[in-house]
Structure 1
Amino acid sequence: MLKHNLGYPRIGRRRELKKACEAYWANPIDPNQLFYVGKKIRKENWKIQKKYGLDLIPCNDFSFYDHVLDMSLLLGVIPEYYHSISTYDNDTPTPPNHIDVYFAMARGFQKKGWDIKAMEMTKWFNTNYHYIVPEFDKNQKFSISSNKIFEEFEEAKFILKSIPKPVLIGPISYLFLGKGKDNFDKMDLIENIVPIYIQIINQLKEKGANWIQLDEPVLVFDFLSKKEIEAFQYAYQKMSQCCSEINILLTSYFDGVSENVSVIKNYSIIKALHVDLVEDPEQLESLLNLLGDTKIILSLGIIDGRNIWKNNYVNSIKKIERTIEVLGEERVMIAPSCSLIHVPIDIEDEHLILSSVKERMAFAKQKISELQDLENIIKGKKDLLYDKKKEKDFFQDKKVKERVILAKNKDFKRISSFERRQKKQHKKFHLPIFPTTTIGSFPQTKEIRTLRNKFKKKELSQEEYEKRIEKFIIDVIKKQEEIGLDVLVHGEFERNDMVEFFSEKLKGFLSTENGWVQSYGSRCVKPPVIYGDVIRDKDMTIKHVCFAQSKTKKLMKGMLTGPVTILQWSFVRDDQPLFTTAYQIAWAIRDEVKSLENSGIRIIQIDEPAIREGLPLKKKNWKFYLDWAVKAFRISSSVVKDETQIHTHMCYSEFNDILPHIASLDADVLTIETSRSKMELLKAFSEFSYPNEIGPGVYDIHSPRIPTVKEIFDLIKKASNNLPIRNIWVNPDCGLKTRKWNEVIKSLKNMTEAAKMAREKLLINPTNNLKKS
């Protein structure tokens, strides 16, 4: 029985990668210093996995920004406009480093003479990780254009003194996850891309590779087309013919593969199949039946790669023993369910968590150790058995449980229809056509982070801390008024993270000290842990929002995070259904919404960027999830009067298939990301006839480049061709927390100028300004 891992966190135990990348982007360090940090992280990761006895240790799972972007560079999928980038030194253009092209694709490139946008970014399946979307031409050519995978294989071989397991995204998933610039089927490229995969596999084999991991997570979908299935068959048949004497471990995760396993088992190159038994434990028996008459090894993904609770050894041992009974021990592997990039690195770095909770938790390092425990238990060390059923109940509250159970239909509905609410709100607010606003946060400078850190360490009194925060709020109101924004925000300077902030104010949550997880690039988040029933026993945001409103005559938005996003971006208790926890959070947010309204706040934004992210990967499970997700949002938002305007924000998601449910949220205003995709998403909203107001993001905040007035105006114009003008808001595509002030001021000034231009040029006449142009 072999133990292996699909991937290890790459940010470094102290977020060394984040710090090195950001230092490189700011130019204080050279590429060699950046590469040194990467090498140091890889070495530490490999040594940890070797220490805990893994038989197959992954390599090429490290990335400076994103593993899908790495794959694009490996295959030569670099859009033409990035090839021309030059860097400048004393006004002299010089050829760029390969890493500069790589980062330009991820972040954009804006220097003297150059202004190139970043590539599109979206969510990695149903996780909070974002990947850079590959761009394909109709006649896309592929070639081996990077040595990273080969260099890291040799590096790992030297460090480990054994043969590592290179990791690649499989050809079908890579094509599936990309987008074509022209109207063509991406699977038409399969004959072009497979020969390059064959070259890569054979080169790795020549360097000594025994096992290669090909990730094909799209195999969990129950809606793959005939063409996609045929592309899989073609690819793996060709690789079977051209890549002899190499072991391919085909991996899929985030759900079961039962619908597609009959396709998988027919190719000689596939020596092992990895499946996710955490998300779909029921698939095991059907897999054993289907694979029983083959020689394929079954890799059991039995350690949860997406949550932080200890493994239930009793359940896992049953699965292992059952598989050994049918296939024999030599045809069994054990592993985490998916790559461990979705969990923090080491629970040993946590010193403030209650011991009764901490002893139930396992981060990446501990999860690797659990594989060793399971092997030892199989070998007879039964004293290691850990049975979760013997744990005491999590923190419970009877009133919270009753509130969820006793909810009535009226709790999920606004008083009036959107049409009536819109008329009342327009009459009350007197906002111009194309009203401008931001999504919520403003730059979190070093000064602000230091301030919060000092307060957390009790180096500042509550009174001194509040005075300093209020100064930041006054300053950001002044900046917004000077820029000319119509609806303001207080800046969220008191907030570390949009989920963690609320978790620290609600009972049933705990925060970690070092539980960092990569979201995209250098952006790391620290998901809170939900370990019990969720209770709001005091106001969470009222003080700072009301202070901000008192300092301006303009409308001030109250800023909250929605129940589904808090749920999705937390590590959630595993002793009750997800929807039960979501409803508990929803009632807590509802109480805060009512308190904001009672305090005079007339616009309240309840962010739900994770609603699409939580969508099950199998369509057959969509309705059940969407029903309870929408219900949770409506619990939180439906308590207000007609005149109070509810906003929600969603970003980096594909909404086309779920627009009826997005509409059924019944938010007065929806703000979404559309800038990287050049407003493509709005066509779907138009065809659906989305009924409420919408703010399509007009510039990309994940890139440091500053958009021009003209390009923002062009996007507003494009939006006005798809939506009623009276329903369009103008805003960035996400919060401005990670940007620098000089970028923010210039970008927002251009945005407000573009909105003024749109009011002048896109209206039929001043007295008929509610019609579509």
Structure 2
Amino acid sequence: MQTHNLGYPRIGGQRELKKASELYWAGKLTVQQLLQTGKIIRQQNWELQKNAGIDLIPCNDFSFYDQVLDISLMVGAIPERFHNLMEAKQLPDIDLLFAMARGYQKDGYDVTAMEMTKWFDTNYHYIVPEFTANQKFTLYSNKVLSEFLEAKQGRFNTKPVLLGPISYLLLGKEKQEGFHRLELIKNLLPVYLEVLNKLDDNNAHYIQFDEPCLALNLSEAERQVIVQTYQEIKNKFPNLHIIVASYFECYGQNLQTVLRLPVQTIHLDLIRCPAQLDDILATDFIRTKINISLGIVDGRNIWKNDFRQSLTFIHKAIQKIGAARVWIAPSCSLIHSPCDLNLETNEQILIPEIKQWLAFAKQKIDEVVTLKQLASGKNTEAANLKLQENIRANESRKTSALIHNKAVKERVAAITEKDAVRANDFSVRKIKQREALHLPMFPTTTIGSFPQTTEVRSWRTRLKNGELTEQQYEELIAKKIAETIYWQEETGIDVLVHGEFERNDMVEYFGEQLDGFTFTKNGWVQSYGSRCVKPPVIYGDVSRPAPMTAKWSIYAQSLTKQIVKGMLTGPVTILQWSFVRNDQPRSETCMQIALAIRDEVIDLEKAGIKIIQIDEPAIREGLPLRKENWQAYLQWAVDAFKISASGVQDETQIHTHMCYSEFNDIIQNIADMDADVITIECSRSQMKLLDAFAGFKYPNEIGPGVYDIHSPRVPSKAEMVELMEKAKSVIPADQLWVNPDCGLKTRHWDETKKALIEMVKAAKELRLLIHQSTVL
């Protein structure tokens, strides 16, 4: 029996990577200093896992931006638009990596970033590979080898981790029609083999291939390609120990394919799919020599493992195939977990009763090692003490008075179909809203947040530290809101926002005001690049004790005669972007949140707010990976949004926002949400995401994003007009809004102002073109 880990957080316990990257982008850190920060984080991660007792430690799980983008660089899948930049600027690998992820706009160059989307059903974003027919690949980056040698020099027993070639291709996109990206395996595989050859020459014994696409619905043809690919790897490198890891779901119909793979170890996510262990042990698999890696420590959530339950899985596997063939691991990479619970020392933020129920990445590593000790039959005194502590903590959570609220449960039980339906359908509401709102064609707005500068963030810190009184803090926020309202008026934006300067995070802000939530000080996880989020922890029943946003929305609206949107986060997104309790169905928790948001929507309407945006960027993200499980999820997810939105009059316009998602398969469900206006990310995909709405003849109004807020580049008016012309070619003009892709919180004011001025100019030109065509 041995322990291993699939991946470890790369941001650093104090977000060292985020801080270093952003200083580097700002020209305040040298490339050597940035690279040194990465090296320090890697060394610390390896040392921590070694000291904990992990037998096989991952390497190449570190990335300066994204592990999928790293593979694109490794195999030379660099889009054509970056080639002139590479030749002229001689960019080092790290700068090319950042240019591909963030775009490049300086020195006379203006190159758009690659597309970004969600990593399966997580809030992590990856950079989407771009493929063309007959594309050639060549080994461009030696990062995998260099990090393995770095670990070897430090005497760490590591296994290089690579996104498998099949998943890499399936996670990408064809940039022209007439071929399927999986056809490129014949060109791609030789590069992977070249990498393996270098590793083999340097005495790497284990290689972990992550093939998370094995959790998806695959065709028989796709399964055949998988078998052929791994057979060729086996033929070339018969002595390499190949580990294939999938996670987030069962293997399902792909199970027989997985069991046929000529590999030494297969990994199971027993958190998401505990039944698959029995499925495997019931097959002829037990007669083979393949090892089973049991993913029994939850890599996606922060609750302490139940040792007694995990030991039943381990003992069952040992009884069938023997201890030598059983490996113990987290369910997936720990990139989705915060770094270290020991950093949570402030008992006013995270009380001890709740803290004892939690485990972060460092603690999960310890759990894996302790489970091996307990399962081996050679229990040390320390392991037995940890078992008893684990039992006490789990029993404490089951019986705690903090968790249950009878009134909340009764209110959810009393929900009826009427609670999820507006008074009239959109065709009626549209007429009433246009009479009430008096907006022009192509109305302009933003998604909600404006840049949160270091100064603004410092106000919250000073308030918490007692350096500002509540009154002083609110005066500063009020002044910033007023400046933002007046600037939007001057710029010519049609529907204004207050800027959300009082908010730390679009989920955390609401969680702080809802019962059933708690928080951490250092529970950061990576969302994309340098962007880190600190998810709230939903530990109990959720309710709203008091209004949450009305005060600042009312104040902002008092400053202008123009419409100011009320800004809320939707129930599904609050659920998805929190660490959710695992002692009741997620649907139950979501309905509790929906009722709390419904109360807030009604309060905003009563206060005179005419447009209310309920952001749901995580609706698509929450979709189960297997299509046979979609309908059950979509039923309660769509109902939760409708419950939150349906308590208002016809004249009140409900907006929602979704970003970095594929909509084709769920367009009917998006229509069922019945938001009056939906804003979506479209600029990186060059409006291709609108095809789903056009083909469906989506009846409500749409704001396709016209510029990418995740890139520092400022698009021109002409670029935005061109994008909107593409949108207008598939969506009727009177259904279209003009807006950025997403909120502007992470951007700088200079680029934000320039881009929004161009956006307003673009909308005015579009109106002029419509007027001219009408006159003609």
Q: Deviations over 1:672-731 (max 9, x none)?
A: 001000000111111101110010001000000000111100111111111111110000
Task: Summarize the alignment of residues 601-680 of structure 1 with structure 2, pairs less than 5 Å apart.
Answer: 601-680=609-688
Matched with 1:534 is 542
- 1:85 partner SS: helix
* More displaced 10-residue stretch of structure 1: 258-267 or 353-362: 258-267
What is the CA distance between 1:112 and its match in structure 2?
2.4
Query: Which ranges of 4 or more aligned residues in structure 1 deviate by more than 4 Å?
Result: 763-768
- Aligned match of 2:119 in 121, 124, 140? 124
Give the aligned residue type for 1:395. I
Task: Say if 2:330 and 2:364, in contact at 8 Å, map to a contact too.
Answer: yes
Matched with 2:172 is 178
Task: Summarize the alignment of residues 128-207 of structure 1 with structure 2, pairs less than 5 Å apart.
Answer: 128-159=123-154, 161-183=155-177, 184-207=179-202
Q: Residues of 1 paired with 2:773 and 2:650: CA distance?
A: 29
Pair 1:79-2:79 in alignment: yes
What is the CA distance between 1:95 and its match in structure 2?
2.2
- 1:260 partner SS: helix
Matched with 2:44 is 44
- 2:656 partner SS: strand
What is the CA distance between 1:230 and its match in structure 2?
2.1
Give the aligned residue type for 1:225. S
* More displaced 10-residue stretch of structure 1: 442-451 or 282-291: 282-291
Pair 1:701-2:693 in alignment: no
Task: Say if 2:50 and 2:156, in contact at 8 Å, map to a contact too.
Answer: no
Task: Summarize the alignment of residues 277-316 of structure 1 with structure 2, pairs less than 5 Å apart.
Answer: 277-290=270-283, 291-316=285-310
Task: Say if 1:560 and 1:605, in contact at 8 Å, map to a contact too.
Answer: yes
Task: Say if 1:443 and 1:741, in contact at 8 Å, map to a contact too.
Answer: yes
Matched with 2:359 is 362
- 1:722 partner SS: coil
Matched with 2:252 is 258
Matched with 1:545 is 553
Task: Say if 2:286 and 2:321, in contact at 8 Å, map to a contact too.
Answer: yes
What is the CA distance between 1:267 and its match in structure 2?
3.5
Matched with 1:10 is 10
- 1:50 partner SS: helix
Q: Deviations over 1:91-118 (max 9, x none)?
A: xx74222211110000000012100000
Q: Residues of 2 paired with 1:65 and 1:762: CA distance?
A: 42
- 1:212 partner SS: strand
Matched with 2:22 is 22
* More displaced 10-residue stretch of structure 1: 455-464 or 584-593: 455-464
Matched with 1:721 is 729
* More displaced 10-residue stretch of structure 1: 138-147 or 427-436: 138-147
What is the CA distance between 1:132 and its match in structure 2?
0.2
What is the CA distance between 1:478 and its match in structure 2?
1.2
Task: Say if 1:397 and 1:533, in contact at 8 Å, map to a contact too.
Answer: yes
What is the CA distance between 1:121 and its match in structure 2?
0.2
- Aligned match of 2:526 in 518, 532, 541? 518
Pair 1:104-2:99 in alignment: yes
* More displaced 10-residue stretch of structure 1: 252-261 or 567-576: 252-261
What is the CA distance between 1:246 and its match in structure 2?
0.4
Task: Summarize the alignment of residues 343-382 of structure 1 with structure 2, pairs less than 5 Å apart.
Answer: 343-351=337-345, 352=347, 353-380=350-377, 381=379, 382=384
Matched with 2:210 is 215
Q: Residues of 2 paired with 1:347 and 1:390: CA distance?
A: 18
Task: Say if 2:8 and 2:334, in contact at 8 Å, map to a contact too.
Answer: yes
Q: Deviations over 1:321-360 (max 9, x none)?
A: 0000001001000100000000100000112311110001
Matched with 2:429 is 421
Q: Deviations over 1:372-431 (max 9, x none)?
A: 111121134344333335632452111110000011111110000101000000011110
Q: Deviations over 1:247-286 (max 9, x none)?
A: 0000000011132121122243x10000100001011111
Pair 1:274-2:257 in alignment: no
CA pair 556-390 structure 1, distance change in 2 beyond 3 A:
closer
Q: Deviations over 1:275-306 (max 9, x none)?
A: 10000101111111232121110000000000
Task: Say if 2:518 and 2:537, in contact at 8 Å, map to a contact too.
Answer: yes
- 2:296 partner SS: strand
Task: Summarize the alignment of residues 560-579 of structure 1 with structure 2, pairs less than 5 Å apart.
Answer: 560-579=568-587
Q: Residues of 2 paired with 1:115 and 1:228: CA distance?
A: 38
- 2:539 partner SS: strand
Q: Residues of 2 paired with 1:441 and 1:476: CA distance?
A: 10
Matched with 1:406 is 414
Matched with 1:738 is 746
Give the aligned residue type for 2:553. V
Matched with 1:584 is 592
- TM-score norm. by structure 2 comes to 0.97
Give the aligned residue type for 2:680. I
Give the aligned residue type for 2:333. S
Matched with 1:242 is 236
* More displaced 10-residue stretch of structure 1: 321-330 or 458-467: 458-467
Q: Residues of 1 paired with 2:145 and 2:627: CA distance?
A: 38
Q: Residues of 1 paired with 2:597 and 2:89: CA distance?
A: 53
What is the CA distance between 1:80 and its match in structure 2?
1.9
- Aligned match of 2:386 in 384, 387, 412? 384
* More displaced 10-residue stretch of structure 1: 504-513 or 389-398: 389-398
Q: Residues of 2 paired with 1:357 and 1:574: CA distance?
A: 14
What is the CA distance between 1:554 and its match in structure 2?
0.4
Give the aligned residue type for 2:124. Y
- Aligned match of 2:322 in 328, 336, 340? 328
Task: Say if 2:712 and 2:751, in contact at 8 Å, map to a contact too.
Answer: yes
- 1:559 partner SS: strand
Give the aligned residue type for 1:68. V
Q: Any stretches of 5+ residues in structure 1 without a counterpart?
A: 88-92, 769-773
Task: Say if 1:528 and 1:570, in contact at 8 Å, map to a contact too.
Answer: yes
Q: Residues of 1 paired with 2:550 and 2:210: CA distance?
A: 47
Give the aligned residue type for 1:374. L
- 2:580 partner SS: coil
CA pair 133-9 structure 1, distance change in 2 beyond 3 A:
same
Q: Residues of 1 paired with 2:608 and 2:81: CA distance?
A: 50
Task: Say if 1:717 and 1:762, in contact at 8 Å, map to a contact too.
Answer: no
- Aligned match of 2:760 in 742, 752, 756? 752
Matched with 2:66 is 66
Matched with 1:771 is none
- 2:282 partner SS: helix
Q: Deviations over 1:609-660 (max 9, x none)?
A: 0000000001110000000000100110000000000000000011110000
Task: Say if 1:163 and 1:209, in contact at 8 Å, map to a contact too.
Answer: no
- 1:287 partner SS: helix
Task: Say if 1:516 and 1:524, in contact at 8 Å, map to a contact too.
Answer: yes
Q: Residues of 1 paired with 2:668 and 2:371: CA distance?
A: 46
Task: Say if 2:46 and 2:156, in contact at 8 Å, map to a contact too.
Answer: no
Task: Say if 1:7 and 1:338, in contact at 8 Å, map to a contact too.
Answer: yes
Q: Residues of 2 paired with 1:550 and 1:520: CA distance?
A: 37
- 1:614 partner SS: coil
Calculate percent identity across the aligned residue pairs.
55
- 1:256 partner SS: coil
Task: Say if 1:163 and 1:210, in contact at 8 Å, map to a contact too.
Answer: no
What is the CA distance between 1:226 and its match in structure 2?
2.7
Q: Residues of 2 paired with 1:240 and 1:347: CA distance?
A: 41
Matched with 1:90 is none
RMSD: 1.3
Q: Any stretches of 5+ residues in structure 2 without a counterpart?
A: none
